[in-house]
Structure 1
Amino acid sequence: MKHRSAACPSCGGPVEFRTGSSLVTICDFCQTAVARADKDVADFGKVADVGETNSGLRLGLSGKFNKRGFYISGRVRYSHPAGGIWDEWYLVFPGEKWGWLTEAQGKFYLMFERELTSKIKLPEYDSLSLGNQVELGRSQFSVREKGIASVAAAEGEIPWAVHPGADHKFVDLQGLEGTFATLEYGERTSVFIGKEILLADLGVDTGGADPESEKLPVAALQLNCPKCGGTLVLRTPDETERVTCPNCHSLLDANHGKLAYLQTLKAKDIHPVVPIGTEGVFFGDKYTVIGIMERFALYEGKTYPWTEYLLHNHELGFRWLVENRNHWSFVKPASYMGSTFGSSVTYNGESFRIFDRGVAYVRYVVGEFYWRVKVGDSVQTADYIAPPKMLSIEESKTKSSEERNVSEGVYLDAEQIEAAFGINGVRRGWGVGPIQPGPKLGKEFYLSWGGFLGLILLVQLVFFLRADGWMTFYAMLFVSIPIIAFHFYAHHFERQRWAESDYNPYPTSD
C-alpha cells in the first residue's frame, strides 16, 4: 500500500495515509476513524478526542531504538475492564516495520508483532488463568493479566482496523529479565513480544512542545469538588481514576480531569507521617506523595492494619511506601513469573520464603489513585521474604478480567524516612519487622575472636606447658562469651520475626 489522500466519508475534510502500511487514520476535523478500502475509504465511526499524557509523548516525535530511527505515527487509548486507561503508541521504523509502545501507570513496554511457526499452537483465551505458563518459541512466559478492554479514543495513523468502542480481548505475559508479551484475540490471534523499557531508552525529546499542537504534557490541575465546591488538586490528571476531596471527604471519580461524585467516606481523623504533596528522594530519584491508603487483614478475629503511601515520579511512574508498626519499606513493581503456591520462590537469584497468605481489605483512602479504588476492595495476597526484601503477590478478579501484581519491597528504617523527606520525629519500629535486617557481626569481629583464641593457645604452649587444661578452657570460654551471647540474641530475633506467621519454621508451644 502506498501514500494516499482521500476525503473523510463523514465530514468531507482531507485525510491522509502517510504510512503505506497503516490501515486506519483519524480525521483531524471530525474524529472519524477512516479505514482503507479496496477502491475508496470506509467510515468506522467516531472516536473520542484522546487526552494528553504526563510523559509528553505525542504524534510526530522521533527517536532511536537499537540504532534504528522511528517516528510516532498514531495512538489508541484503551479503557481497562477493572477501571483505568492505558495508551498504545505506534512507532514506524525503516521498512515500515511497526513497533507497539504501551504506556501504562508510568511504565513503558516496547513490543513487536511476531509471526510464529505453525508448530507453535497458541492457547485459547478461555483456557488461560493467572500464573499459567505459556511457551512462545524458545521463551517461557507466565500469565500476568487477562481481560476484555475497549477502545476509548484514538489519533493519527494506526496499523490495524480499529473500531471505536470495540472490545479488545488480551492476555499479558511476563517473562524473564523484563521480557513481556501480549496475546490479542480477535479474528486471529496476534502475538507481540518485547520488554519493559525506560522512555530515555528511546531517545525521544519530549521537552519541547509543538507550538502548533494543542496537546501539551499534563501539569497538575486545580479543580472544584462537585459535592462541596471546595478546591482540590490532581497531580497526575491523565492517570488518576479516583480522588478524595480533602474538604468533605467525598470519593470522586476522575475521568481525564472531570470529577463525578461517588460517595461520602466516613470522616476519619488521620495523621499521616508524610502528608500528601510531600516530596522525598529514594535511591537518587525524587517522588511526590499523591495518595494514602489504609489496608488491613483479618486473622482469628483480630485486625492487622498498615498504611500505604502512593508515590509518583514523572519518569519512573508509581512506587509505594509501606508502613507497618513503624517499620517501613520502599516498594516497586517486580517481573516475577513463577508459581505462587510453593513454600519458597526464587527471584533475581535470591530465595524467598513464604511468610503470609491472606486477604487484604481497603479501609480508608485519601488523595488520588491510578485505579478505581473504593473502601471494601479486597485482593488475595502472598508475601515471601528474604530480609531485607519482600516479594508480594496480589491477585484480583472481576467479571471480565483477572490480574496479578507482583512487587518487591526493601526495608527502610525511621532514620532513612526522615532523611528522604527532610522531616523529624518518625517513630522507631515496634518489635521485629518481617523484613527487618537481622543483627550481624562483621568478619573483623570473628577474626579478632580467632586471634584471641590463638593467643591463649600460644601463651600456654610457650610459657605454661604444664598449666592446668581447665584454666585454658575457661580462658577460651571467657573470650567466647560475646559471640555466644550474640548468636543467642540473633536466634531470638529470628523467632520474634516469625512469631505471628502461620509458616513459622521454629517450634512453638501451641
Structure 2
Amino acid sequence: MFSTSCPQCGAPLEFRSAAAVMAVCGSCRSTLLKHGEAVERLGEMASVFEDYSPLQLGATGRYQTRTFTLLGRIQLRYDAGYWSEWYASFDDGTFGWLSDASGQYAVTTQRVPDASELAALPRFDSLSPGTPFEFEGKRYLASDIRTAQCVGGEGELPFRVGEGWQARVADFRYEDRFITLDYADADQQNGQPTVYSGESVELADLACQGLRDEAQIRETAGRYRGELKAFGCPSCGASLDCPVGVADYVICGSCHAGVDCSAEQATLFSKKRTLETIETALPLGASATFDGAKYTVLGLMRCRTPDGEYSWDEYLLHNLDRGFLWQVHSEGRWERVDVLNRWPMMSQRGQVLDDGKTYRESERYESEVIYVAGAFNWRVQVGDRTSITDFAWRDFKMTREESSNEIVWSSAKPLSNSKVADRFGMPELKGGAAKPSKQAKPASKAAKAGNGKSSKSGHATVGFGPWPWIATFLMAFVNFGRLFEFDGSTVLVIIGIVALWAPEWIWRAFHEESR
C-alpha cells in the first residue's frame, strides 16, 4: 500500500492496489497520477451520478476461488444509456472488472493472447453485431459494440483517465462466457485491443460483503430507488414522473418528446411530435404478480413491420428486487418475455439448442417502433428498428434481436387471457377483446429489444404436431389384419395406439394448467 496526500487539498490518499496508476481524490475530485513515491495532479474528475447500485468502494466478494475488493470505478455513457465498470483487486495481486449495466453483472480479467490469437484480433472498425471471434477453442459472437465517454469516476484505477477519455469496446458472447476487446489504447498498441475474458454472473453468487442497503442508498440519493420523481417536461411543461434509479428515459405522454432524467437537470433526447392517441390493453402503472413478486408497468410501445401490415403492443414491467420483464399482446394473445443473460447455443444447421430442447427457425422480419410512452431503462424513440429472428419449440420461443450495435436474446412463453386478467386484476382481459392494436400481427411474430430489453410475441398451442397421427397411421397399417381379429393381438394394438397419444395428452393437460 502506498500512502500520500493530495497536492491540491492535502487530504490523505492511499493506493491499495499495486496495479493502480491513478486515483481520484475523494475530497476535491482531483485526478492524481502516481510517479514512484510522488503524485501528479492532472485535473479533476466529475462525480459519479447516483445510479442506485448496491456496489460501493471497499465492498468485497469472491469470484471462483479468489476474493476481491472494489477499489475504483468509472461511469461510461453511450448514445442510449450508461453503465459502470468497477475496478476489482484480487487477493493474488491481479485485477479485473465487475461490470454493472442495469443490474446485469459480468466479471472479466485481462488475458494475454498467444501469437496466433494476437494475429486474429479484429480491428474495431471492422466489427458489427454477430461477427465471430475464435478464442481458446470457442467461437464467440459479437454482442455489443460501443463507443462511450467517461462521465465520472472515483477511487483507484489501473490506467490514466482524463477529461474526454473515450472507450471503444466490443463484447463477445458464448453461452454465459464473455470476451471484451478494449480498444481505448489500441492506437498505442499497433491497433491491437486489450483482451478481457470472464462471464455473466448473479450478484448473489459473488458472496459480496459491504454492499449498500436501501437506507444507505436513500441517504446519498435523497429518495428511495423506484420512488417517483416529479418534474416538468422540458418541451411542453407537462408534469412527468420518473422512477429514480430504475428508468432514466421518459417519453412525455402529452408531446411525445424524449426526456433524459439521469442528470439533475432533465434534458431532451428527442423532439416533440404529433402522434395519434392509441388505446392499449394495459395502462401505465398497472400492477401484476409474477413468480410471487409484484411488477409495475413502466413503459409501453407499439411496434409494427415496416410495411405496416402487422402491429403489436409491448409492455415493460419492473420489480425492485427481480428487475425487468416484458408482456407482449398480439392478436388477443399474451406472452411473458425474459432477457437471457446466458446465450443459447446455435447448431451448424442454424437451430437453437437450449436445456435439451431444439428450437427451429420460424420467421425473420423487421420491427419498427411507432408509438412509445412511459419510462424505460434505455433510450427508445419512435422510428427505432430491429431485425428479428424467431426460433420455436412447441409453444415456446427464443428470439434473436439485432440492431446496429448489439444483439439480444430472449425467451418467451404464452399466457392465457384468463391468467393475465387474474394477475393484473382486470376481468375485462379474459375475453381477449381489449383493444391491443388496430392491426394484429401473426402469432409467430415478435418485437424489439435492446440493452436490458427483450423480444416478444404470441404463439398458438401446437403440442406434438402431426407426429402422433403419423405414428398411429403407421401402426394401424402394419397391424391392419390384427385389428379385426378381436383377440389379444387387437388389445395390444389398441394399447400401443393409446401409448402413442399419451405424451400428447399429458403435454396438453400440463400446458393448459401452466398457462
> Which whole-Å CA distance do the structure 2 matches of 1:118 and 1:209 have between them?
51
In structure 1, the residue matched to 2:203 is 199
How far apart in 2 are the matches of 1:213 and 1:59? 16
> Which piece of structure 1 moves more, 161-170 or 270-279?
270-279
Deviation of 1:284 (Å): 4.0
Task: Classify the secondary structure of the residue corresponding to 1:266.
Answer: coil
C-alpha distance in 1 between matches for 2:416 and 2:306: 26
**Residue of structure 1 equivalent to 2:461:** 437
- Deviation, 1:109, is 0.8
Deviations 1:13-49 (A, max 9, x none): 4433233332221112222221212352233332221
User: 2:304 aligned with 1:296, yes or no?
Assistant: yes
Structure 1 residue 173: Cα displacement: 0.6
Q: Distance in 1 between matches of 2:177 and 2:309?
A: 39
Structure 2 contact 149–167 (Cα < 8 Å) conserved: yes
The one-character-per-residue Cα deviations of 1:184-235 (angstroms, maximum 9, x if unpaired) are 1223422211111112112234326559973576342422223444432211
Asked if 2 retains the 8 angstrom alpha-carbon contact of 1:249 and 1:267, the reply is yes
**1:424 is aligned with what amino acid?**
P
Contact map agreement 2:171 2:179 (CA 8 A) in 1: yes
The worse-fitting range, judged by mean Cα deviation, of 277-286 and 97-106 is 277-286
* Aligned partners of 1:222 and 1:231 also within 8 Å: no
Q: Distance in 1 between matches of 2:110 and 2:314?
A: 38
Query: Any conservation in 2 of the 1:106–1:314 contact (CA below 8 Å)?
Result: no
How far has the Cα of 1:414 moved from its partner?
1.1
Q: Give the C-alpha shift of residue 143 in structure 1.
A: 0.9
The percent identity for this pair of structures is: 27
| 2:347–2:353 CA contact under 8 A, matched in 1 | no
Give the SS at the match of 1:201.
helix
2:410 paired with 1:407: yes
CA distance in 2, matches of 1:42, 1:340: 54
Distance 2:42 2:386 in 1: 39
Please name the residue that 2:450 is paired with: none
- How far the C-alpha of 1:296 sits from its partner, in A, is 0.6
**What's the offset of the Cα at 1:362?**
0.9
Aligned partners of 1:379, 1:211: CA distance in 2, in Å? 36
Which of 102, 107, 125 aligns to 2:104? It is 107
1:428 aligned onto 2:461:
no
CA deviations over 1:406-450 (Å, ceiling 9, x no partner) = 222222221221233233221438997322222569x99999xx9
Which residue number corresponds to residue 285 of structure 2? 277
Q: Which residue of 2 aligns with 1:355?
A: 362
SS in 2 for 1:214: helix
Report whether the alignment pairs 1:287 with 2:295.
yes
CA change 1:436–1:20 in 2 (3 A) is same
**In structure 2, distance between residues paired with 1:421 and 1:161:** 51
1:321 aligns with 2:321: no
Give TM-score scaled by structure 2 length.
Answer: 0.78
The letter for the 1-side match of 2:28 is: C
Q: Tell me, yes or no, if structure 1 residue 378 matches structure 2 residue 385.
A: yes
Query: RMSD value over aligned CA atoms?
Result: 3.8
Residue of structure 2 aligned with 1:96, choices 83, 93, 114? 93
SS at match of 2:148: strand
Amino acid in the other structure paired with 2:329? E
Q: CA deviation at 1:298?
A: 3.3
- Name the residue aligned to 2:171: 172
In the other structure, the counterpart of 2:447 is none
Q: Aligned to 2:318, which of 309, 312, 319?
A: 312
Deviations 1:328-382 (A, max 9, x none): 1111223437679976443444332333222211111110112222111212222
Residue pairs, 1:42-191, within 5 angstroms: 42-66=40-64, 68-80=66-78, 82-121=79-118, 122-176=121-175, 178-185=176-183, 186=185, 187-188=188-189, 189-191=193-195
- Structure 2 gap ranges (5+): 434-439, 445-458, 509-515
Cα distance, 1:152 vs structure 2: 1.1
Alignment-mate amino acid for residue 107 of structure 1: Q
- Residue segments in structure 1 that go unaligned for 5+ positions in a row: 463-471, 491-510
Q: Cα deviations across residues 89-126 of structure 1 (Å, max 9, x unaligned)?
A: 12222133323111112211112222233342223323
Quick one: distance in 2 between partners of 1:212 and 1:293? 31
CA separation of 1:67 and 1:376: change in aligned 2, threshold 3 A: same
Q: Is the 8 A contact 1:107 1:316 kept in 2?
A: no
| CA-CA distance at 1:247 after TM superposition | 4.9
Q: Contact 2:240 / 2:252 at 8 angstroms: preserved in 1?
A: yes
Normalising by structure 1, we get a TM-score of: 0.78
Counterpart-to-counterpart distance in 2, 1:431 and 1:440? 24
Helix, strand or coil for the counterpart of 2:423? helix
- Change in 2 beyond 3 A, CA 1:11/1:83: farther
Pair 1:12–1:167, CA change in 2 (3 A):
same
Relative to 1, partners in 2 of residues 1:172 and 1:268: Cα closer, same or farther, differing over 3 Å?
Answer: same
> What are the equivalent positions in structure 2 for 1:10-29 lying under 5 Å apart?
10-29=8-27
Q: How many residues align?
A: 456
Q: For residue 493 of structure 1, what is the aligned residue in structure 2?
A: none
Shift of 1:242: 2.4
Which one has a bigger Cα radius of gyration? 1
Match in the other structure for 1:35: 33
Matched residue type, 1:145: D
Cα distance in 2, alignment partners of residues 36 and 197 from structure 1: 33
Contact 1:238–1:257 (CA<8 Å) still a contact in 2? no
Distance 1:257 1:282, change over 3 A: farther
Distance 1:78 1:159 in 2: 16
Matched, 1:252 2:290: no
Question: Contact conserved, 1:252 with 1:260, CA < 8 A, in 2?
Answer: yes
Matched-pair contact (CA < 8 Å) for 1:33–1:164: no
Cα separation, partners in 2 of 1:284 and 1:190, compared to 1, 3 Å: farther
**What is the DSSP-based 3-state SS (H/G/I as helix, E as strand, rest coil) of the residue aligned with 1:290?**
strand
Moved more, 17-26 or 428-437: 428-437
